[in-house]
Copies of this chain bind each other. A is one copy, B any other.
Amino acid sequence: MRDAQTFLDGLKDEREVWYRGERVDDVVDHEVIGTAARHAAADFDLGAEHPDLAVTTDRSGRTYSTFWHVPRNGDDLARRSRLIEASTAQGATLVALVREIGSDAAFALQRVLAGRDPEAERIAAFYERCRDDDLAVAVAQTDVKGDRSLRPGRQEDPDIYVHVVDRRPDGIVVRGAKAHTSCSPYVDELIVLPTRALAEDEQEWAVAFAVPVSTPGLRLLASDYLHTEDTPWTRPISTDHKMIETLTVFDDVFVPSERVFLDGQAELAGELALTFVEYHRFTAVSYKLPLLDALVGLAVALAEANGISRAGHVRDKLTWLIGYAETVRGLTHLAAARARVDEATGIAYPDPLTTNLAKWTFAREYSRALEHVIDIAGGLLVTGPGDADWESPELRPYLEKYLGGAVPAAERLALLNLASELTARDYAGYQNVLAVHAEGSLEAEKLMLYRSYDPQPALEFVRQLAGVAPRAAEEVTTPVP
């Protein structure tokens, strides 16, 4: 297992990363990307504080990161969930993600490719290296998609979805771009997966593989969304904790055969996409929990700081927030407890219905949760003093005199600034947009929830209640389109 520094040292290579229009020389030394890298690096030091969670020892006594432990049952999934939660709490509500997402993809690839050689051997070998070398791995799944009313094979530009443009004896050449690739500038490897089900004649887009981030032709255009001139007083989370997404361009990237996991099997593309998100949504609901706890905690703390904690409407909003956060937590725990085990591989996965229910519950009420915290916090969220005002000897006395509540101004403003980051400033928008779109949209979650539900028991129950004859098996309704 590596520590934070070893992880950071591993990022110094020829990778092509762009930030605010300029090529980045060294991602670790870079002011903004370095911050993101260090945020992720902290994950590698988690073993010191949570050895029980973070470190797994196999029968032979070898230790490796629990992130890379293949789940075999519900307890494994529950432990993985607790690890992700602990890591994200340490990350101040922002997930590290650099091993979470890569292992999600590795588990999915192993399940979908089981029994297919040489693909199964390739992913097994890749997975073992990730585990043994404790690698950081990003996943590029979402294609840029162009006009979404058109399928991959019907786009005007065939590169809109990543596809194979050349085949050589020793590998393939791919072209295209993926959007929203989290953490790619500061990981070791990049796994690429298809984003959706494909038609038979869309074989060239049925491609999955892994490449080192420093691979020639791979260009990472980093988003500067979370950049800021403010200090931690004003933005207590995002000055030190960042995640960076890229537009990930594959400019005729060569992938050696042993790193190609899917090439042309269009019928597997959809299954692979869905199996990945099955794991990834479970990762998501696990890492959302500290964010929800922060919203609940802030609401309780600010109600008290403002002297309004006895007001009926405040009590009502606190109760709603508690109910919201604990429903997501409860369903996440239950998704692990109801784990299913893939027969072919013995790999466990969280119950899809419960996982999607947890994720949908989280996503569809997140903006309402923000509204309640805003309501309790008050307008100072956007009209309060900035860091320079607080530092000013002329102004500080006025701020201390006038901006206290039931607690001193220093404490109240610290809480308000945290609330401002979580409900109003750029970081709030970042989390709010992620709530709707990351790991699949609201509609995608609803679709999976619908498909994961077996309507037969309920249907038979109502037919019996209505006195209508039970159905023959072949007439059975199924919600899968």
Contacts and interface: CB of A to CB of B under 8 A. Distances in A.
Interface of A: 18, 20-22, 89, 92-93, 142, 144-150, 157, 159-160, 177, 179-180, 219, 221, 223-225, 227, 229, 232, 236-237, 245, 247, 249, 290, 293-294, 296-298, 300-301, 304, 306-310, 312-313, 315-316, 318-319, 322-323, 326-327, 330-331, 333-334, 337, 353-354, 357, 360-361, 366-368, 370-371, 374-375, 378-386, 388-389, 391-392, 394-395, 398-399, 401-406, 410-411, 414-415, 417-418, 420, 423-426, 428-430, 432-434, 436-438, 441-443, 446-447, 449-450, 453, 455, 457-463, 465-468, 477, 479, 481
B429 A468 contact: no
A322 B334 CA distance: 16
A111 B132 CA distance: 53
Centre residue among A229, A361, A432, A462 by max chain B CB count within 10 A = A462
A79 B465 CA distance: 24
Contact of A357 (B297, B326, B402, B405): B326
A312 B312 contact: yes
Given A247-B402, A307-B150, A308-B148, A388 B455 contact: no
A92 to B, nearest CB: 6
Contact of A401 (B157, B330, B459): B157
Majority DSSP secondary structure for residues of A touching B: helix
A198 to B, nearest CB: 18
Copies of this protein, total: 4
Contacts of A384: 223, 225, 247
Contacts of A379: 142, 179-180, 433-434, 437-438
B353 A326 contact: yes
B406 A443 contact: no
A399 to B, nearest CB: 7
Centre residue among A21, A92, A425 by max chain B CB count within 10 A = A21
A232 B318 CA distance: 38
Contacts of A309: 477
